Structure 1
Amino acid sequence: MTRAPAFPFRLLALAAALSLGAGLAHAQERRPQARPTEPAVLIADDVTLDGARSLTASGNVEAVWGEQRLKARSITYDRQTERLTIIGPLTLDDGEYTTVLADAGELSRDLRNGILTGARVVMDDQLQLAANQVSRTEGRYSQLYKAAVTSCQICKEGDDPLWQIRARRVIHDAETRQLFLEGAQFRVGSVPLAYFPRLRLPDPTVERLTGFLTPTLYNSTLLGTGVKVPYFIRIGDDKDLTLTPYLSTETRTLEFRYRQAFRNGGIEFEGALTDDDLVRRERRAYLFGRGVFSLRDGYVLRFDIESVKDDAYLVDYGYPSKDRLDSEISIERVRRDEWRRAALTYFHTLRGNEVNTTLPTSVGNIDYEKRFFPTRLGGELRFSAQAHGHYRSSDLRTDGPDVDRFADGRDVARLTASADWMRSWSLASGLQASFRTGVAVDHIEMRDSAPTTRSQLTDATPSAALTLRYPLAKTTPGGTVHMIEPVVQLAWVGGSTPNIANDESTRSEFDEGNLLSLSRFASADRRERGASAAMGLSWTRFAPGGLRSTLSVGQIVRDRTQREATGEQTFSLSSGLRGTRSDVLIAGQIATQNGLTLTARSLFDGAFDTTKAEARAGWRNAALDLGATYIWLRSDPQEERPGTISEWAFDGSYRIARHWTGSAEWRYDVASDRNVSAGVGLTYTNECIDVTLSASRRFTSSTILEPSTDLSLTVGLRGFSARTEDKSYVRECKK
């Protein structure tokens, strides 16, 4: 036997490759489908040759075969048996997501078959399988005998992990990426809690596989004590179904979710079926669905379905908290200079003070808008058209107990067409001017309307507006940038308010977005008339450190008050638009470099009393996500608000420590001096477990709702089809 002296790194790699190349190439001819085309490469500090039969590499040994990489203290290759005898500690990496650590082993030359002793298998850097012996077959199956499975960090030899599954035998199928366990025993620490003769689990790389998901325990004063156990069914690569039985002392509920992807879109449906003790002799259910599809010529089809069997069901079970349901199907196409849309919508109210028969439950809309850029005239020519209709199931020609004083059964059809020309100029000293003029034609017909109003109307409304802006900018020596822009708009809209029911524009808002609009009504059945002037000022400041602040002020002055034919003002008390002079709008925002944002908007009347106010504060960083909202609305019978609304809302989460995160939310009615709802939660997370405990309380009550308290506990084992993207939760071993 001869011993080769140490060679340079590259020369050793070449020598080892030539030594193994012939035998491996022969193996490739026999089973080319299971072998990579390139030869194996062996790298080591020392190489010992025993004639033509064996080769022994030692010292920083590394063998590479395709995507597989083997590192060991010593490797001996027997050309006659075509086997590798390995002395560890050794590391075998499959090139994808599995790493095997072992004390010693014997493998085939392609590293696909053999036995490893004292082995530990690590999958996707989180799930660990330890066993006395691991048998590899065809590079696909790994059999572990007397194995322990866990994703918990083990710092001291002999210590028990937080949880583990011990099994007589574990088989890992690398192709299907599943674990098959025989004689499995689930343990918390050293305490056995459950036994499974056979158990199948996904490995950490699986995203969709049929099986149970994380269960949740619930306790509710309304629904009793129970458990939810989701079961995911993978129907195919393009569709799946999740069934979640919810069993408690007060309810038997089956929740479901179905998803399917198509070549040009997708659909998703969710809902539940319930037999509970809250509503006797009546089964409860809800169904929500949505979908979107891309059609030919750039059209997009969308639909959504929202249906519930009784008004309190969604709130009782904590499902989507909507008090008005809308189901819609629409088709739309958006291009650079054209927009088309057609939609049919059905509304259903769950509010106790509303009746579906007197609400416009069926609504249809067809919208079209087109832009042209005439070269001789300059500017932009815009044409738009809309067809709208809504239907009430009631046919009453008299008024019920509401605030509009019109017939409860009226149905409306409206056609609107408009043409506008717009052009902008940059004048001397940076002054920006824009001019707009156009005409709109509305045709409205009503059925079952009150005798005091017209049943049909055709009206033409001309308009014109001139807008002047003067943007100014300054940079201070310290690098702070100030931008100030005053703006004035002089506008005129012809015609007068028609004697026809206000059925679409019953709510109006005054904010920064419509300061320069010619009409601030929600729809074309009402338009602002006469001459007006809109004045505004905006200031923006950018600091070098990242601090940004904005402030906007605006007001509108008109030559006349907007009134109905009855003499009543069209705009409501809280809209900020009543009379000839609107309320003063003040809005601002502050954003800092450390994640703090403050946003506020308010309307002030002539005496500088608040008409409407809202504010939002948020602070977000690596450990904190906090938000607070305040809203104040004055009483307004015209908007069906008999009392003042003043309410605080808080929500947030804080990472208390490395593994602990707390959360809380609270709504408080200042006007009534009472709580609306509150909730707290606490989550513990590490590399192998998620535990969430939450409690919530609803304080409000009504004819269909009762106050309730809910508790929930969710325990999830990490490592099975749940990749740990955030490594900051992983525990570290103390040195």
Structure 2
Amino acid sequence: MAAVSTLTVTAGLLTHAPSVSAQDSANFLSGQTVSEDAELLLEANDLTYDFDRDIITARGDVQVYYDGNTVQAAEIIFNRASQQLFAKGNVIFLDTEGNVLRTEELQMSEDFAEAFARSLQIDMPNRTRFIAEQARRKDGNVTTIENGVYTVYTNPSRPAGKAPLWRIRSKTIVHDKQEKVIRFEHASLELFGKPIIYAPYLSMPDPTVKRHSGFLIPNWVIADKLGFGVNVPYYWALSPHRDLTTTFTPLTKQGLFADFEFRQRFQKGKFTLAAGGIYQLDPDQFNTQRADSDTRGAFRTTGEFNVSGAWNLGWDVTYKSDRAFFEDYSFTSWGGNETSRVYFEGLTERNGLSVNAYAFQIAQADYISSNFNANGFSPVGSSLQSKQPFVLPVADYDFVFADPVLDGELALTANFTSLTREETDAFSIDGGTTARFRGVDGTFSRFSMDGTWRRTFIDPLGQSFTPFAYMKGDLFFLASPDSDVTALANESFVGRAMPAVGLEYSYPIIASFDGGNQIFEPIAQIIARPNEQRIGELPNDDAQSIVFDTTTLFDTDKFSGFDRAEGGTRLNVGLNYKLQLDSGHYLTGLFGRSYHLAGNNSYKIPDILGATQDSGLETDLSDYVGSLYLDTKYGIKLGTQARFDKDDFSVNRLQAQASAIYGPLVSSVAYAFLDAQPNVGIVDRREELLGSASLRLQDNWRVFGSMRYDLQNSNIVQDGIGVGYDDEGFSLSMSYSEDRSRNDGDTTNKVLFFRVGLRTLGNTQFQSNSMNSN
């Protein structure tokens, strides 16, 4: 017998051996190629080279590194004659894309065009897993897995023999690298180890594909007025930067609903285009307050583009055939807004410009009560939609000077607004005698400028003095106004100016103690101005919301917009308190009021809307306002805002909210109270309580619920309850809710919602609406 010539190295290290090609260690799934210049590093306890048979054998903690790929095994044999590599014993292969293959034996050719493994497991970076009896790779492209299972990673605490929540078991799994698709033949979806759905054929994109054409998971719809339907979406991957989703929903009562959404991305922007509609087979299911046509639909487009540098152009435009379209067909995938907007804006460190155009399509039903009949301006049955303005444009410019002016900061603000309304928007506060106007017909334009200067001084005692001054100027134009509403019927242009000077003072007093510190800070602010001009003679569209609380106490002008300009001399005072404990507890509060000292009180004299008369500022001594915020280290947070009557300290307005996280329980509660506002037609006080909670049961189950309760009328406005299950690869939720708050001719909207989600595969949902229940 001839002797065998061998070379044995103990604790061997072999480098620069390209003939032991690491192409053998290429990606088992993707079949990626390795660099021709890559160098191989092999480490082993023993390394043997059989010269006669031209075989290299590495044993004992063998590790091969090549071009970013790693192979670990108890033994690796490379047959140079047959150009085959064999890895045995606890084989772990990690490729450059993060895929991990585990098996007991792995056989591959030098160029990796052919490969074979038994009893393997492949874990991918997206936490999905393939398990199979055997897998074979052929022609460097197609990998075939026999008797395989596809699932997600299971929780490490799950018993080894327990089946995962869901998995796809297939007789044959074929991965085509060139087509980037994984096909399942004779497949079944198993839930908790039990097959629930069988399919002779399934397919999905491989993990390297982010976008792939195909059907998405269907959703289910059932509603009193729609019948039963199945929402079937199809996704079209048109290009790397362009895609389309088309969805068809056959409904047993109303026919075929169809919609699409197109998305396009460019180097400097993106846009979407969506539309949907239906020809209703039974339109009589809906009352005429909701829709009076057989054909209903909607259109929406969004976009945003960088024009140059800091300048962006964008839009979000929605058009719907009727006000209730998105309520009745809420399963549309893209939705819509009541406000359409087109904008052009730019922002730098010290200045910004934005130009906007707005249009509104409201969902609110028209008034049906004669109490809203205001001297002929709002007859019963008139369209609220026709009273919504087109706003074109609203231009805002802000600029802060970089260099100090008189050692202080000077900022400029400018606004131009022009809006057109077809019909005067009016209502009555007392059944027809007294009218209030949210807007007037015709075209209303206003140009405003505001220059504000301020400077802060701090003396050696820590007292802060901030003198300030501002000058506001407005120019109004109203074309074709209603002569019964404004004084501009006989004037084309009206100018208005409002100069002001003032001083703000504060003195924070810090008191430290063992365990924390507290700050007492008295604050006072005085502003001297002339009287506001033309009150009640000019339209008011952007200064209708008057909320007097601690957030606006020290605003030099408490109106929310430019159409009103506060006048007269006013003093605002308050006491700010802060408590900070080293243990982590934090408490802050503010209490104060406002004094009208001289001139006409802008909040006492009503404009065409009259919203200021119940604001708490209409008297020389205002209501009191206070706020409190508490944050504990135990997950409990409390915040409240309140306004108290100046005479008897009764509550005129109160908002309070609290949230808590305690172990598995997450909860929140909010309370709102608003006293009657007869000057704007609200004759009854409003008081509501809103609460929600979610309780986690064990590791994955949770129950949740919410309720909105009208304390004044003793009825439930909204309520809902549900149960959910969440795992790393599976989610399920079922909820039931009722809504009695919609002003649309229906008393109660009931929704049953059911959703199932499988990670990487998609989700399906079931929604049932009962929209006409008493």
TM, length-normalised to structure 1: 0.87
Change (3 A) 1:118 1:496: closer
**Residue in structure 1 matched with residue 724 of structure 2 by the alignment:** 683
- Supply the AA of the counterpart residue of 1:635: A
Q: Which residue of the other structure, out of 289, 294, 297, is the alignment partner of 1:282?
A: 294
Q: Which residue of the other structure, out of 652, 669, 673, is the alignment partner of 1:632?
A: 673
Q: Using the alignment, how far apart are the partners of 1:358 and 1:569 within structure 2?
A: 15
Question: The residue matched to 2:436 in structure 1 has which SS?
Answer: coil
Is it true that 1:273 corresponds to 2:277 in the alignment? Answer: yes
Q: Is the 8 A contact 1:558 1:580 kept in 2?
A: yes
Question: The residue matched to 2:361 in structure 1 has which SS?
Answer: strand
Change (3 A) 1:177 1:565: same
**Residue in structure 2 matched with residue 475 of structure 1 by the alignment:** 512
**Residue in structure 2 matched with residue 552 of structure 1 by the alignment:** 590
Which stretches in structure 2 are left out of the alignment for 5+ residues? Answer: 26-30, 287-291, 368-382, 764-774
**Residue in structure 1 matched with residue 40 of structure 2 by the alignment:** 40
Q: Using the alignment, how far apart are the partners of 1:176 and 1:545 within structure 2?
A: 60
Q: Is the 8 A contact 1:574 1:611 kept in 2?
A: no
Q: Aligned ranges for residues 467-546 of structure 1 at < 5 Å? A: 467-478=504-515, 480-498=516-534, 499-504=536-541, 505-546=543-584
Q: Which moved more, 1:119-128 or 1:301-310?
A: 119-128
**Residue in structure 2 matched with residue 615 of structure 1 by the alignment:** 656
The alignment of Structure 1 onto Structure 2 pairs a total of residues equal to 713
Q: Is the 8 A contact 1:75 1:84 kept in 2?
A: yes
Is it true that 1:96 corresponds to 2:97 in the alignment? Answer: yes
Q: Using the alignment, how far apart are the partners of 2:19 and 2:606 within structure 1?
A: 102
Change (3 A) 1:507 1:185: closer
Q: Is the 8 A contact 1:406 1:449 kept in 2?
A: no
Question: The residue matched to 1:552 in structure 2 has which SS?
Answer: strand
Question: The residue matched to 1:641 in structure 2 has which SS?
Answer: coil
Q: Aligned ranges for residues 233-632 of structure 1 at < 5 Å? A: 233-251=236-254, 252-270=256-274, 272-276=276-280, 277=282, 278-279=285-286, 282-318=294-330, 325-352=338-365, 353=367, 355-372=384-401, 377-394=406-423, 403-404=435-436, 408-446=440-478, 447-451=480-484, 453-455=486-488, 456=491, 457-478=494-515, 480-498=516-534, 499-504=536-541, 505-559=543-597, 560-562=600-602, 572-606=612-646, 607-620=648-661, 623-632=664-673
User: How big is each residue's C-alpha offset from its partner over 1:341-395, in whole Å with a ceiling of 9 and x where there is no partner?
Assistant: 2221112332223723334343532222333366572212333332222211137
- Supply the AA of the counterpart residue of 1:298: A
Once the two structures are TM-superposed, the CA of residue 586 in structure 1 deviates from its matched residue by 0.4
Q: Using the alignment, how far apart are the partners of 2:531 and 2:705 within structure 1?
A: 54
User: How big is each residue's C-alpha offset from its partner over 1:153-196, in whole Å with a ceiling of 9 and x where there is no partner?
Assistant: 49788876544433342122456653122333444466555444
Change (3 A) 1:192 1:79: same
Once the two structures are TM-superposed, the CA of residue 714 in structure 1 deviates from its matched residue by 2.1
Using CA pairs under 8 Å that are at least 6 residues apart, name the structure with larger relative contact order, 1 or 2: 1
Is it true that 1:179 corresponds to 2:216 in the alignment? Answer: no
Question: In angstroms, what is the RMSD of aligned CA positions?
Answer: 3.5
Q: Using the alignment, how far apart are the partners of 1:398 and 1:213 within structure 2?
A: 49
Q: Is the 8 A contact 1:655 1:662 kept in 2?
A: yes
Q: Is the 8 A contact 1:65 1:110 kept in 2?
A: no
Question: The residue matched to 1:501 in structure 2 has which SS?
Answer: coil
- Supply the AA of the counterpart residue of 1:394: E
Q: Is the 8 A contact 1:206 1:721 kept in 2?
A: no
Q: Using the alignment, how far apart are the partners of 1:580 and 1:661 within structure 2?
A: 54
Q: Which moved more, 1:459-468 or 1:357-366?
A: 357-366
**Residue in structure 1 matched with residue 375 of structure 2 by the alignment:** none
Q: Using the alignment, how far apart are the partners of 2:353 and 2:668 within structure 1?
A: 38
Q: Using the alignment, how far apart are the partners of 1:64 and 1:396 within structure 2?
A: 77
- Supply the AA of the counterpart residue of 1:291: G
Q: Is the 8 A contact 2:426 2:436 kept in 1?
A: no
Q: Which residue of the other structure, out of 724, 749, 755, is the alignment partner of 1:708?
A: 749
Q: Using the alignment, how far apart are the partners of 1:188 and 1:550 within structure 2?
A: 52
Q: Using the alignment, how far apart are the partners of 1:80 and 1:569 within structure 2?
A: 95
Change (3 A) 1:404 1:474: same
Once the two structures are TM-superposed, the CA of residue 323 in structure 1 deviates from its matched residue by 11
Once the two structures are TM-superposed, the CA of residue 93 in structure 1 deviates from its matched residue by 2.1
Change (3 A) 1:346 1:509: same
Question: The residue matched to 1:515 in structure 2 has which SS?
Answer: coil
Question: The residue matched to 2:461 in structure 1 has which SS?
Answer: helix
User: How big is each residue's C-alpha offset from its partner over 1:315-340, in whole Å with a ceiling of 9 and x where there is no partner?
Assistant: 33447999982111121222233222
Change (3 A) 1:287 1:311: same
**Residue in structure 2 matched with residue 733 of structure 1 by the alignment:** none
Q: Is the 8 A contact 1:304 1:327 kept in 2?
A: yes
User: How big is each residue's C-alpha offset from its partner over 1:287-314, in whole Å with a ceiling of 9 and x where there is no partner?
Assistant: 3443222222522223211322222222
Once the two structures are TM-superposed, the CA of residue 643 in structure 1 deviates from its matched residue by 2.4
Change (3 A) 1:268 1:626: farther
Q: Is the 8 A contact 1:77 1:83 kept in 2?
A: yes
**Identity percentage of aligned residues:** 22
Q: Using the alignment, how far apart are the partners of 2:242 and 2:695 within structure 1?
A: 37
Once the two structures are TM-superposed, the CA of residue 221 in structure 1 deviates from its matched residue by 4.4
Q: Aligned ranges for residues 135-154 of structure 1 at < 5 Å? A: 135-137=136-138, 140-151=141-152, 153=154
Change (3 A) 1:661 1:176: farther
Q: Using the alignment, how far apart are the partners of 2:264 and 2:522 within structure 1?
A: 52
Q: Is the 8 A contact 1:407 1:448 kept in 2?
A: no
Change (3 A) 1:261 1:619: farther
Q: Using the alignment, how far apart are the partners of 2:690 and 2:612 within structure 1?
A: 26
Once the two structures are TM-superposed, the CA of residue 622 in structure 1 deviates from its matched residue by 7.7
Once the two structures are TM-superposed, the CA of residue 489 in structure 1 deviates from its matched residue by 0.8
Once the two structures are TM-superposed, the CA of residue 22 in structure 1 deviates from its matched residue by 4.1
User: How big is each residue's C-alpha offset from its partner over 1:37-61, in whole Å with a ceiling of 9 and x where there is no partner?
Assistant: 2232222222333225112222222
TM, length-normalised to structure 2: 0.83
Q: Using the alignment, how far apart are the partners of 2:296 and 2:160 within structure 1?
A: 55
